[in-house]
Structure 1
Amino acid sequence: MPAFSHDFPFDPAYGYTREDLLAVPAPPAPADFAAFWRARHEAARAIATAPVVGPVEEVRDGVRVYGVTYASVGGVRLGGWLVLPAEDPVEQGFVVGHGYGGRDEPGPDVPLPLPRSAALLPCVRGMATRGRHPGIPDRADAHVLHGIGSRDTYVIADCVADLWCAASALLELVPELTAGVRRPAIGYLGESFGGGLGALALPWDERFAAAQLTVPTFGNHPLRLTLPCAGSGESVRAYHRAHPEVADVLRYFDAATAATYLRLPTLTAPALFDPSVPPPGQFAVHNALAGPRALHVLEAGHFAYEGAEREARDLREARAAFFATHLG
């Protein structure tokens, strides 16, 4: 296990060895877990996303980047970026989730894992900069509590729907992805918040063919509630102390539980040391995957350390090879 110097008042490795992490299970699903998410998915698929593409904002790494907006559930209109090859024809597409805090630009998500790819990079509701919405906090510690009193009002459910609607918008904007094929060639990329949302979204949507989740959050909530952290999970822990009944709501938003339904080829990149997203929850997502899975372990997540650039490069190479096999 890595040994990092830090000043957190807790151990971001939580005393787990790699062998311990690979044994962390998923909590059992509520009886109506799948029915809940399938109904949510059906409602999102019924949305006319009406995507609107703005002018080119930048050209780099062989792609053109456009601003884009689209409609999602609840009458919310969201923004993000559409990425298209500058010259080549489109052969596959991606929906790319983001970490808690949102995104101000496409950033390191471009270049995409494979050449000749299109992508939609949404900002889910409440998140900077193009997902901000009146009444939804844009700070992670408050956003993660928005509507948490009920599974039917919890913002995380709508954020998952925002990803489904992003896929609908992408397929409308890039009809090449469905022309002459039985199934769209869409991959999903998500890190941290986006990794957890992806695990919740992907089991129910047949349009996706493969996924890569980096340091995914929301895994094994019963365990997460016992682990201090520096991320949004600490807000949930504090809320749970005052409202223990919220544990029943969180059962429907457990990324590890959802992973037991996830049969797409999935590459996970959990970390051994992470002060923001406890590693046991990250590994619980990987361990629970029901389909073909690949594991790329990181030394640390949400933490600056020597070797981070090398690890990021290695992960990009592993991601490209993975999608070349399962999507290209």
Structure 2
Amino acid sequence: MLAFSHDFPFDPAYGHTLDDLLAVPAPPAPADFAAFWRARHEAARAVVTAPVVGPVEEVRDGVRVYGVTYTSVGGVRVGGWLVLPDDGPVGHGPVEHGSVEHGFVVGHGYGGRDAPGPDVPLPLPRSAALLPCVRGMETRGRRPGIPSRADEHVLHGIGSRDTYVLADCVADLWCAASALLELVPGLTERERGPSLGYLGESFGGGLGALALPWDDRFAAAQLTVPTFGNHPLRLTLPCVGSGEAVRAYHREHPEVTRVLRYFDAATAATYLRVPTLTAPALFDPSVPPPGQFAVHNAIAGPRELHVLEAGHFAYEGTERETKALRDARERFFAAHLG
């Protein structure tokens, strides 16, 4: 592992070697963990998402980017972007686009997104994607009553598993899949049924681990520096990300561990059986690496590990690592969705 110069008041590698990290386990699931998430998924699948597509906002990298909104649980309208190949007639609209062979739902990091950004281009050609801003998040998920700052958002409704905002954020991803399949009906017309890919980094990686085990529309996933892994361990590790807000809350409200058990991405990964590419980091001041590796280690199905030197931290090798991960992602999805 590279030695990074930094001024954090703690070690963002947490004294762990790669061998140490590959041994970090997942916490045991509560007895009704699967029942809780299956019920949430069933409710999300029953939502009439009624997606509405706006005009073309951007054309680049072989795709057109449209604004989009759709309905999620609780009647909340979620905003984001719809990405389609740039080889169909604009005037006929994306619903009639006939050149799409693959579909992706793309999660985002804590803080949201104000454009598709580096998530485009997509891993495979002839792909469509829906990139939502989950409720509360910048810029198209803003919602009255839900804070948009990560350290406040991560605590919203945390007093109960039934009110915690993360449950509804996971539902926003499920409803994004429903909206995408409605907008690109060709994806549902295969004999084997829809086979979507999921991409998620950091916050989106943790949400993806929570969402994927219960939704058979997804056939493969990439989780990069995923958060929310092994909460009991995370509560002992200082960081500069949203986990620090949870640590501070836990000091005053130790009973919150009863809620966090249902939102542990590593626990959820023990139910995750679709092929998954994980990209955890050895050094990360925002999402402690032991929690990231706990997610990878727990995955029940086929898994591929792509180790990053650092996450949430810029250094000389960032551009090189980004390219290597992009290449690995393209190979992975070509093998599992191509």
* TM-score under structure 1 length normalisation: 0.99
Shift of 1:95: 0.1
Residues 1:111 and 2:117 aligned together: no
Q: What SS does structure 1 have at the residue aligned with 2:308?
A: coil
Residues 1:98 and 2:108 aligned together: yes
Match of 1:202 in 2: 212
Match of 2:26 in 1: 26
Where does 1:150-161 land on structure 2 (aligned, <5 Å)? Answer: 150-161=160-171
Whole-angstrom distance in 2 between the partners of 1:56 and 1:181: 31
Shift of 1:178: 1.0
Whole-angstrom distance in 1 between the partners of 2:306 and 2:197: 18
Match of 2:62 in 1: 62
Amino acid at match of 2:32: D
Whole-angstrom distance in 1 between the partners of 2:114 and 2:76: 19
Q: Are 1:126 and 1:137, in contact at CA under 8 Å, matched by a contact in 2?
A: yes
Q: What SS does structure 2 have at the residue aligned with 1:263?
A: coil
Match of 1:83 in 2: 83
Shift of 1:65: 0.3
Whole-angstrom distance in 1 between the partners of 2:190 and 2:134: 31
Residues 1:315 and 2:325 aligned together: yes
Match of 1:193 in 2: 203
Whole-angstrom distance in 1 between the partners of 2:118 and 2:200: 12
Shift of 1:180: 3.2
Where does 1:258-273 land on structure 2 (aligned, <5 Å)? Answer: 258-273=268-283
Shift of 1:140: 0.1
Q: Which among 235, 239, 260 is matched to residue 250 of structure 1?
A: 260
Match of 2:291 in 1: 281
Q: What SS does structure 1 have at the residue aligned with 2:3?
A: coil
Match of 1:292 in 2: 302
Match of 2:96 in 1: none
Aligned length: 328
Match of 1:171 in 2: 181
Shift of 1:71: 0.2
Q: Are 1:99 and 1:192, in contact at CA under 8 Å, matched by a contact in 2?
A: yes
RMSD: 0.6
Shift of 1:182: 2.3
Whole-angstrom distance in 2 between the partners of 1:21 and 1:110: 31
Q: Percent of pairs identical after alignment?
A: 87
Q: What SS does structure 1 have at the residue aligned with 2:11?
A: coil
Whole-angstrom distance in 2 between the partners of 1:181 and 1:323: 19
Q: What SS does structure 2 have at the residue aligned with 1:245?
A: helix
Q: Are 1:2 and 1:272, in contact at CA under 8 Å, matched by a contact in 2?
A: no
Q: What SS does structure 1 have at the residue aligned with 2:192?
A: coil
Whole-angstrom distance in 2 between the partners of 1:259 and 1:181: 28
Q: Are 1:261 and 1:289, in contact at CA under 8 Å, matched by a contact in 2?
A: yes
Q: Which among 128, 132, 137 is matched to residue 127 of structure 1?
A: 137
Match of 1:305 in 2: 315
Q: Are 1:216 and 1:285, in contact at CA under 8 Å, matched by a contact in 2?
A: yes
Shift of 1:87: 1.0
Whole-angstrom distance in 2 between the partners of 1:181 and 1:309: 40
Match of 1:9 in 2: 9
Q: Deviations over 1:23-78 (max 9, x none)?
A: 00000000000000000000000000000000000110000000000000011001
Match of 2:158 in 1: 148
Q: What SS does structure 1 have at the residue aligned with 2:254?
A: coil
Whole-angstrom distance in 2 between the partners of 1:2 and 1:294: 22
Q: What SS does structure 2 have at the residue aligned with 1:47?
A: coil
Q: Deviations over 1:152-206 (max 9, x none)?
A: 0000000000000000000000001011322212100000000000000000000
Q: Deviations over 1:272-295 (max 9, x none)?
A: 000000000000000000000000
Whole-angstrom distance in 1 between the partners of 2:185 and 2:200: 23
